[in-house]
Amino acid sequence: MKKIIKYVIIDILRNKIVLAYTVFLLLISVTIFNLEDNSAKGLLSLLNIILIIVPLVSMLFSAIYVYNSSEFLELLVSQPLKRKTIWLSLFMGLAASMAFAFFIGAGIPILLYEATPTGFMMLGTGLLLSVIFVAIAMLAAVMARDKAKGIGVVILLWLYFSIIFDGLILFVLFQFADYPLEKIMVGAVAFNPIDLSRILILLKMDVSALMGYTGAIFKDFFGAQTGLIISFCVLITWIVIPAWLSLRKFNHKDL
């Protein structure tokens, strides 16, 4: 297993896209922190990067990588290796390289310029989001045989998680404006890792605004120790379930 992970990581490094992604993140984060005179604005821009670019790059790259290494996977399957080992190694290799890229690109500037609770929360959720979207992309890639279709699905999924889901929530909120929806909203957020991460970060960043009536409910839930633990468990579930589903699918897949 270790050998395969090592091979995957070396292969990813050799193809230089992840390297470019790292440099891009690093460049943006350093510029943001240096340009903005107040660090709150810098963090805000960084928040958008974490919530938009990280999922997009993680997903697209992973999906394309899985499709491009289909021949390599076939070769491995013909060897006396368990399919589980092969698939999990691929997942770990991808997850490790994406998370590492994020850590170098955004994590180090955060640690250097903004080693505050907000910064640490950003770092943590950013790492988790990288891994979550690798898992989701691999699920999409294993479900669709056709490469174009698979990548299309990945892009749609990204759109769904970053915009459409929020649009739906806004729609529901206005349709059912007469009902008390605060608690339901807390539950609804669990269905979108991007939203969940965003709220976790904002609770550290915009405390003042979030202390209004509705915000106070979110704060009571997500800000409390148990809420925080539950939120992180939900995020980890977002890694485990897609990874497990894709593994099940891959085990029975006719390559």
What is the binding site for other proteins (CB under 8 A)? 38, 40-41, 44, 47-48, 51-52, 162-163, 166-167, 169-170, 173-174, 177, 181-182, 185-186, 188-189, 195, 198-199, 202, 206-216, 218
- Of 23 and 169, CB closest to other proteins: 169
- Of 78 and 208, CB closest to other proteins: 208
- At its nearest, how many Å lie between other proteins and the CB of residue 139? 23
Q: What is the DSSP letter of 212?
A: S
- Of 205 and 243, CB closest to other proteins: 205
For 16: left if phi > 0, alpha if psi spans -120 to 50, otherwise beta; the answer is: left
CB 62, CB 229: distance < 8 Å: no
Cβ-proximal residues to 189 (8 Å cutoff; 6+ apart), any chain? 195, 196, 199
Please say whether the dihedral angle defined by the alpha carbons of residues 68, 71, 72 and 77, taken in this order, is positive or negative.
Answer: positive
CB 144, CB 153: distance < 8 Å: yes
- At its nearest, how many Å lie between other proteins and the CB of residue 154? 17
- Of 179 and 244, CB closest to other proteins: 179
- At its nearest, how many Å lie between other proteins and the CB of residue 199? 7
- Of 42 and 93, CB closest to other proteins: 42
C-alpha span between 238 and 231 (Å, rounded): 11
- At its nearest, how many Å lie between other proteins and the CB of residue 170? 6
- At its nearest, how many Å lie between other proteins and the CB of residue 212? 5
- At its nearest, how many Å lie between other proteins and the CB of residue 30? 21
* CB-count burial class (<10 Å; 0-12, 13-18, 19+) for 72: middle
CB 101, CB 66: distance < 8 Å: no
Cβ-proximal residues to 254 (8 Å cutoff; 6+ apart), any chain? none
- Of 218 and 250, CB closest to other proteins: 218
